[in-house]
Structure 1
């Protein structure tokens, strides 16, 4: 298989994945008769809710680290790096539909997926048990 053929197959797979995101957004409360603009708006709202949940976990960790400014600074740096990663990853992952009417939906779906995964990581930090030396966040 030539490099060009492989490139086209990968691009087709990315577009198929993006269409799958559109279906997922429609299933999350937009309804079967939603327009593309409606789907874009639903996806944006889903991302906003996911980001609010992530921020709540982040703020809870910062509160637990209030007496450890070094650890709090490390968390802030990690979160800043994670945001840069999230944006770069979604820029790449959505590049196949860049400029299209589906782009805002696919972009928001990408942000939502990565944000939910980050929220799970932050939640795990909040769930550490006493004596867990691998956990950077003290238990409550």
Structure 2
């Protein structure tokens, strides 16, 4: 019995690359709702990484301005993230139970995150 359990575990582990390949989506030609949801999440992740890079850059620019400036930026960013998530959840709630909800929420997050990145850059670049 033990031998079968071990064989089953290794068999499942061996199958995982096959399952992972199923998750690869051609976002240029996404046709199903599932694929569009995956692609919208990937788009959101790209702009979220850009925001994180910009945030790190802005924090570094505050080094010479005193501790209050850095802490104010951190507090503002935490508050903004909570706002973004709540606003996009509210937008997604309009589609509760629908397969389009992840697309709506991911698109909302990507849009707001892009704007936040632009605003942060505009605020801290002159200094």
TM-score interval for Structure 1 and Structure 2 normalised by the shorter chain: 0.7 to 0.9
Shift of residue 94, structure 1, vs aligned partner: 1.7
Aligned to 2:78, which of 80, 86, 90?
Answer: 80
Taking a change above 3 Å as real, the CA distance of residues 114 and 70 of structure 1, as seen in their structure-2 partners, is same
Cα separation, 1, equivalents of 2:125 and 2:99: 41
> Could you say which residue in structure 1 is the equivalent of 2:53?
56
Taking a change above 3 Å as real, the CA distance of residues 72 and 33 of structure 1, as seen in their structure-2 partners, is closer
Aligned to 2:36, which of 26, 36, 39?
Answer: 39
> Could you say which residue in structure 1 is the equivalent of 2:115?
117
Work out the number of aligned pairs and report it: 101
Taking a change above 3 Å as real, the CA distance of residues 108 and 33 of structure 1, as seen in their structure-2 partners, is closer
Shift of residue 32, structure 1, vs aligned partner: 4.4
Larger Rg: 2
TM-score, normalised by the number of residues in structure 1: 0.67
Q: Which runs of 5+ in 2 are unaligned?
A: 1-25
